[in-house]
Copies of this chain bind each other. A is one copy, B any other.
Amino acid sequence: MIGDAAGRAATLVEALPFIRRFAGKVVVVKYGGNALAGTSDHDALDVFARDIVLMRLVGMRPVVVHGGGPQISDLMSRLGKETEFRNGLRVTDAETVDIARMVLIGQVNPQIVAAINVHGDYAVGVSGEDGGLIRAEARDPELGFVGDVVSINPAVLNRLIEEEFIPVVATVGTDVNGQAYNINADTVAGEVAVALGAEKLVYLTDVEGLRRDLDDAESLIRQTNPAELEALMADGTIAGGMIPKVTSCVDAVRNGVRRAHILDGRIEHVLLLELLTVEGIGTMVEDQTEGES
């Protein structure tokens, strides 16, 4: 066992400076609805939940933000309601936003909360309507109740974090009249990270990371900065669903978040490995090049 012990000890010793560095720091993790939608991914949720609890146990302050697009589509089809898209965005009428709210707050959110709370009374589900967390407004009248973030009131999150709860945020917001809006979860994750003064913003995705050349697996970007990312979006290398994530990364690191990460959520314990080992994983974004894991 002693031989084996040396390896274990080495891992623990390596984790030391990172645990010190992140103690008391907020880490916002965007967990995708895709990850939950698959039937066989129950284990993936369990591993994710365990990592979040470990982060909390060693003194970090994790905040989970999630969406739920596939689950919304699923309930809409079960209710016989067709989805209309305009410029790639779902047209969201009153009934649709009610369905989205039910799914995000009433289905996906408690599923994540329950997975975390198997380990203790840690997680508390929060919607953007709670305590005025997300104030929203319509993006475009033609799209109906698709909202943009107007402002974030982080009071509820701060209280829960101070009490060492783990907030799990469903990305529904309201306008001043109490009307609900469906809001892009990638965008909310970035806004929340800025409002909380987070140390890190992490996107768990189903790709290995960003590439400089989409066709070249060898071109994985390990470390980058806002300027390069803006260039890659301008020339179309980064496109589609990656746009809100990358835009949020850029905004976040320019507004006080120390680092943003796009990680491959398919790797088991990818959060722990990114946070607690020397070798980086996926793509890391920071505003100034300083040198860290």
A interface with B by C-beta (< 8 Å): 1-2, 5-9, 11-16, 19-20, 23, 50, 53-54, 57-59, 75, 78-79, 98, 101-107, 109-110, 113-115, 117-118, 120-127, 129-132, 153, 155-156, 159-160, 163, 165, 172, 174, 176-180, 267-269, 272-273, 276-277, 279
Minimal beta-carbon separation of A278 from chain B (angstroms): 10
Q: Are A12 and B15 in contact (CB under 8 A)?
A: yes
Minimal beta-carbon separation of A98 from chain B (angstroms): 7
Q: Are B101 and A110 in contact (CB under 8 A)?
A: yes
**What residues of chain B lie closer than 8 Å to A19, measured between beta carbons?**
57-58
A221–B106 CA distance with the chains assembled, in angstroms: 39
Known A-B contacts A113-B130, A118-B177; A267 and B2 likewise in contact (beta carbons under 8 Å): yes
Q: Are A107 and B106 in contact (CB under 8 A)?
A: yes
Q: Are B159 and A9 in contact (CB under 8 A)?
A: no
Q: Are B102 and A103 in contact (CB under 8 A)?
A: yes
Known A-B contacts A23-B57, A102-B107; A12 and B131 likewise in contact (beta carbons under 8 Å): no
**What residues of chain B lie closer than 8 Å to A105, measured between beta carbons?**
105-106, 109-110, 125
**What residues of chain B lie closer than 8 Å to A104, measured between beta carbons?**
106
**What residues of chain B lie closer than 8 Å to A54, measured between beta carbons?**
12-13, 16
